[in-house]
Amino acid sequence: MTGNTAFVFESDSGARTFMEVIVERTKAFLAEEGAIAELSDAIGFLESQSLVLKSMTAILTVEDGAKMVLAFSFDRELIDRLFEQYSLGIEIPEDEKEMYVEETAGDMINIVVGNVLARFQQPGIAFKISTPLIINEAKSISKYKNTRFYSAQINTEAGSMMVYCVTPGELYNKHFKREKVL
């Protein structure tokens, strides 16, 4: 709590509820925009000391006074399938295809997160969403002290994706920015 205002991301229950809603919207997006059926999902705390990223990951921050980092990490097959459907009927030059696949991942996280914010709005508090950042390699990010990871795995007919939520996000912002430069 900060003064009389409860920020969604400050409590475990707030962050968990946020994750649940994000996962539901993610599954709907995959179905509506990618024609990809979901097979199963699981949400929980991440017990390990590191966050394992798949071959393509889109990351953004959401802030309502407290800050949260969200990451959508895709199996290559899944993001390729989503891209194929998302770009259906659009001419994409072959040498620019990878950039458009990345933008598909960025669009997805931006739309999913933006769409659910109305569910958590409080008078006088405007959420801020950053533009997405894309990480293009499988890697492991170590856990900082005092941060909490939430994770959800969504299994689909075209591979799986992880949804990660990290609170507080301030520590990870610096880390992800450094990763991009390297």
- Backbone dihedral region for residue 159 (phi beyond 0: left; psi -120 to 50: alpha; all else: beta): left
Q: Please tell me whether residue 49 binds other proteins under the rule CB under 8 A.
A: no
Q: Check binding of 65 to other proteins (CB under 8 A).
A: no
Tokens of 133: 């950042």
Angle at 110 between CA 172 and CA 5, to 5 degrees: 65
Token pair of 44 as six digits? 């929980």
Least Cα distance to 62 among 130, 13, 133 occurs for 130
Kindly indicate which of the ranges 71-79, 119-127, 145-153, 163-171 contains the residues binding other proteins, using the contact rule CB under 8 A.
119-127
- Binding status of residue 7 toward other proteins by CB under 8 A: no
Candidates 13-21, 73-81, 88-96, 149-157 — which segment interacts with other proteins by CB under 8 A? 88-96
* Interacting residue with other proteins among 7, 18, 29, 149 (CB under 8 A): 29
Cβ neighbours, 10 Å, residue 134 = 16
Instruction: Classify the C-alpha dihedral 119-14-130-163 as positive or negative.
Output: negative
Residue number, 104 or 167, with CB nearest to other proteins: 104
**Using the rule CB under 8 A, which residue among 11, 21, 85, 114 binds other proteins?**
114
Instruction: Map residue 161 onto helix, strand or coil.
Output: strand
Q: Does 31 bind other proteins (CB under 8 A)?
A: no
Is residue 134 at the binding interface for other proteins, with CB under 8 A as the rule? no
Point out which residues bind other proteins (CB under 8 A). Answer: 29, 32-33, 86-87, 89-92, 99-100, 103-104, 106-107, 110-118, 121, 124-127, 129-131
